[in-house]
């Protein structure tokens, strides 16, 4: 077992890996449930009804497990502390391909020291990728295996972390010990309507598939102890969400439109519910975390952007509500960002002026506050929230930016071009 001594303390490998990821992310989770559905050896997603179970050889990393408004994240660490597995569930309605889900996940991991991709199988089924990195301040080479696949009602991205030389063994142990809807973790099952053309095992050359609520006879007993590709769960296929031919199909990165002057870096996001409403962002500064689809987001379509360098993210949502009145929207929007104007500190800009105001059809404010999340240390953040009225009392556009407090000034400056580009139709 590898242990790393830091300042007189002993930190196991997987915990150090997780700590490194926390340093990279430094972003608060959104709306973690007050009563966590994550148990000692099982978890059922409140949104997707996905059932994940694991043996006593793994324990929950609660610092990196969260139930968020738009995704679920489960972190597991092996009992010896040397290996880690992160499982993320997202809606299929983001319309991302498996490769795009993996690339989105790598926005975080690619910042680890000496990050290098050594195996890229994102064009195969299921798409996967292997990368290596060094633990900061050491000469230890670690590695990560990322795999994306659709499951019943969601898309699942799995990241397996361990020492480079042990990665294949870690994958096998994770596959033996962790099941999703009764199916081994890295084993994809066929999508309904797709012809089976080979093994549905967990290797990068197997066909894409879906995990179903398989019977107990379809899990660990079907595998060997050394090969995750031998599993052949006796489970039926699962329907995967498909948009109808008449529905608009959003994409993670908006398609350039010359009429709006899109360039390589400048991109437009447009509401699918309210044509003409949208804004522009610079993808050299901001990356798309996910598209928000009304059916899965309480009637709101929108987008989430993470800043490439700052500890900040932006959420833009457009929806029918408040009779199209920005003044009626702002109190609710601030509350959804966990801001309490009566007790939290109003922030000021570089000139010392309060960031707060209103004009016809627009209200905005920014506050410093402490974000307290379950099983997390309190985080000092700054939040900027703006409501815009859509023409004809059709609804509202809400623009929110949350940043750790030390990054707020830079993040506030970074969102000014986006705010200036907002279109209402």
pLDDT value, residue 127: 92
d(CA 80, CA 421): 51
Residues 379-417: tens digit of each pLDDT: 889 999 999 999 887 899 999 999 999 889 999 999 999
CATH code at position 293: 3.40.1000.10
- Give the mean model confidence (pLDDT) for residues 265-283: 90
Q: Residue 270 forms beta bridges with which residues?
A: 278
- Give the mean model confidence (pLDDT) for residues 211-217: 45
Question: Helix (H, G, I), strand (E, B), or coil: what is residue 346?
Answer: strand
114 and 161 fall within a common domain: yes
d(CA 248, CA 424): 19
Is the preceding omega at residue 126 within 30 degrees of 0, hence cis?
yes
Which tokens belong to 323?
């009779």
Is 135 inside any structural domain?
Answer: yes
Please tell me the least confidently modeled range out of 6-10, 50-54, 320-324: 6-10
393 in Cβ contact with 360 (< 8 Å): no
pLDDT value, residue 217: 36
Is 28 inside any structural domain?
Answer: yes
224 and 277 fall within a common domain: no
Which of 4-13, 138-147, 366-375 has the largest mean confidence?
A: 138-147
Domain that holds residue 45: 3-229
pLDDT value, residue 35: 57
Residues 20-29: tens digit of each pLDDT: 454 344 333 4
322 and 410 fall within a common domain: yes
Q: For the chain, what percent of residues have pLDDT higher than 70?
A: 71
Of residues 41 and 298, the one with the higher pLDDT is 41
Is 256 inside any structural domain?
Answer: no
Is 260 inside any structural domain?
Answer: no
53 and 141 fall within a common domain: yes
What is the SS3 assignment for 66-106? EECCCEEEEEEEECCCCCEEEEEEECHHHCCCHHHHHHHHH
Q: Is the pLDDT of residue 300 over 80?
A: yes
415 in Cβ contact with 315 (< 8 Å): no
- Distances in Å between the Cα of 10 and the Cα atoms of 5, 19, 81 are 5, 13, 11
33 and 136 fall within a common domain: yes
186 and 40 fall within a common domain: yes
320 and 212 fall within a common domain: no
pLDDT value, residue 22: 46
163 and 300 fall within a common domain: no
Is 127 inside any structural domain?
Answer: yes
What's the mean per-residue pLDDT of the chain? Answer: 76
205 and 279 fall within a common domain: no
Is 346 inside any structural domain?
Answer: yes
Domain boundary among 173, 203, 229: 229
pLDDT value, residue 239: 65
Residues 159-186: tens digit of each pLDDT: 999 999 999 999 999 999 999 999 999 9
273 in Cβ contact with 301 (< 8 Å): yes
pLDDT value, residue 242: 52
d(CA 404, CA 312): 7
- Distances in Å between the Cα of 395 and the Cα atoms of 9, 83, 135 are 55, 48, 49
DSSP string, 128-181: EEEEEEE-TTS--EEEEEEEEEEETTEEEEEEEEEEGGGHHHHHHHHHHHEEET
Total domains in the chain come to 2
212 and 283 fall within a common domain: no
Of residues 296 and 265, the one with the higher pLDDT is 296
Distance of CA 262 to the CA centre of its chain: 26
- The verdict on pTM exceeding 0.85 is no
Is 26 inside any structural domain?
Answer: yes
335 in Cβ contact with 305 (< 8 Å): no
pLDDT value, residue 258: 36
Domain boundary among 180, 214, 229: 229
Q: Residue 5 forms beta bridges with which residues?
A: 10
35 and 156 fall within a common domain: yes
284 and 164 fall within a common domain: no
pLDDT value, residue 377: 67
Q: Is the pLDDT of residue 136 over 60?
A: yes
- Give the mean model confidence (pLDDT) for residues 273-286: 91
Beta strands (DSSP E) in 320-378 are: 345-346, 356-359, 362-371
| Those residues with Cβ within 8 angstroms of residue 159's Cβ, 6 or more apart along the chain or in another chain | 85, 86, 87, 88, 105, 109, 144, 145, 146
Nearest to 48 by CA among 235, 180, 179: 180
Domain boundary among 229, 253, 273: 229
Is 258 inside any structural domain?
Answer: no
CATH code at position 55: 3.40.1000
d(CA 394, CA 321): 8
């Amino acid at each position: 077992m590898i242990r790393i001594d830091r300042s007189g303390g002993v930190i196991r490998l997987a915990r150090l890996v997780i700590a490194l990821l926390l340093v990279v992310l430094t972003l608060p989770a959104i709306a973690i449930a007050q009563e966590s559905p994550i148990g000692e050896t099982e978890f059922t997603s409140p949104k997707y009804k996905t059932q994940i179970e694991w043996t006593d050889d793994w324990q929950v990393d609660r610092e990196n497990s969260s139930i968020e408004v738009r995704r679920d994240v489960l972190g597991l660490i092996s009992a010896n502390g040397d290996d880690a597995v992160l499982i993320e569930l997202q809606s299929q309605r983001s319309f991302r391909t498996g490769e795009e889900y993996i690339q989105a996940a790598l926005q975080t991991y690619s910042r680890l020291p000496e990050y290098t991709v050594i195996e890229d199988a994102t064009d195969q089924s299921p798409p996967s990728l292997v990368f290596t990195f060094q633990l900061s301040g050491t000469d230890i080479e670690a590695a990560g295996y990322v795999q994306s696949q659709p499951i019943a009602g969601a898309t699942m991205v799995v990241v397996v972390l361990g020492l480079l030389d042990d990665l294949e063994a870690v994958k096998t142990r994770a596959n033996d010990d962790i099941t999703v809807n009764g199916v081994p973790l890295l084993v994809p099952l066929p999508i309904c309507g797709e012809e089976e053309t080979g093994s549905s095992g967990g290797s990068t050359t197997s066909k894409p598939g879906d995990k179903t609520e398989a019977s107990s006879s379809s899990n660990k007993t079907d595998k060997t102890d050394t090969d995750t590709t031998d599993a052949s769960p006796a489970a039926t296929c699962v329907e995967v969400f498909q948009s109808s031919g008449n529905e608009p199909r959003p994409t993670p990165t908006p398609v350039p439109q010359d009429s709006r002057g899109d360039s390589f870096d400048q991109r437009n996001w447009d509401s699918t519910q309210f044509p003409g409403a949208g804004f522009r962002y610079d993808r050299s500064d901001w990356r798309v975390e996910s598209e928000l689809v009304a059916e899965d987001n309480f009637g709101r379509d929108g987008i989430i952007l993470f800043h490439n360098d700052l500890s900040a993210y932006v959420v833009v949502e457009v929806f029918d509500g408040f009779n199209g009145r920005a003044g009626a929207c702002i109190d609710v929007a601030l509350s959804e960002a966990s801001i309490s104007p009566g007790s939290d500190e109003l922030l000021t800009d570089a000139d010392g002026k309060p960031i707060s105001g209103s004009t016809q059809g627009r209200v905005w404010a920014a506050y410093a506050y402490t974000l307290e999340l379950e099983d997390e240390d309190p985080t000092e953040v700054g939040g900027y929230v703006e409501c815009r009225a859509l023409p004809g009392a059709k609804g509202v556009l809400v623009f929110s930016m949350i940043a750790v407090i030390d990054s707020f000034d830079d993040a506030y400056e970074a969102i000014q071009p986006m705010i200036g580009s907002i279109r209402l139709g």
